[in-house]
């Protein structure tokens, strides 16, 4: 279950929920077994320079090799940038969670 965090300056007029949904679809297009992508957005009311930072973390798996990551990074960049209609500093990171990371569902 990947995690996605969107951090952006509030002078950008973006639909954060739509970006998160499209990112989930992009990840699933590359890896159908990835599951839901837990996404969250953090608009920054106080900032220095217009920016958008997007970070994705996922568990390391054998099929998520360098070629997989390069293709995913390219498609995620295009996906996210298609939602931005103004100039801004852009950062995107796709990384693997540590081996000591636990993710599962709590039945409540």
Q: Which long-range contacts (CB under 8 A, 24 or more apart) does 43-47 make?
A: 43/8, 43/9, 43/10, 43/16, 44/7, 44/8, 44/9, 44/10, 45/10, 47/9, 47/10, 47/11
Q: Domain count for the chain, please give it.
A: 1
Domain that holds residue 63: 3-96
pLDDT digits (tens, 9 = 90+) for 30-44: 999 999 999 999 999
In a domain, 58, yes or no: yes
Indicate the pTM of the whole model: 0.92
In a domain, 57, yes or no: yes
pLDDT digits (tens, 9 = 90+) for 20-76: 999 999 999 999 999 999 999 999 999 999 999 999 999 999 999 999 999 999 999
pLDDT digits (tens, 9 = 90+) for 83-106: 999 999 999 999 998 888 887 889
In a domain, 102, yes or no: no
Domain CATH number, residue 59:
3.30.429.10
């Amino acid at each position: 279950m990947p995690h996605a965090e969107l951090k952006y300056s509030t002078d950008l007029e973006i639909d954060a929920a739509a970006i998160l949904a499209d990112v989930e679809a992009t990840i699933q297009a590359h890896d159908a077994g990835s599951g839901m992508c837990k996404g969250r957005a953090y608009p920054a009311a106080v900032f220095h320079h217009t920016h958008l930072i997007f970070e994705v973390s996922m568990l390391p798996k054998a099929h998520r090799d360098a070629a997989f990551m390069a293709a995913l990074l390219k498609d995620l960049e295009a996906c996210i940038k298609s939602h931005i209609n103004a100039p801004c500093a852009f950062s995107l990171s796709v990384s693997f969670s540590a081996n000591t990371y636990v993710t599962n569902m709590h039945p409540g």
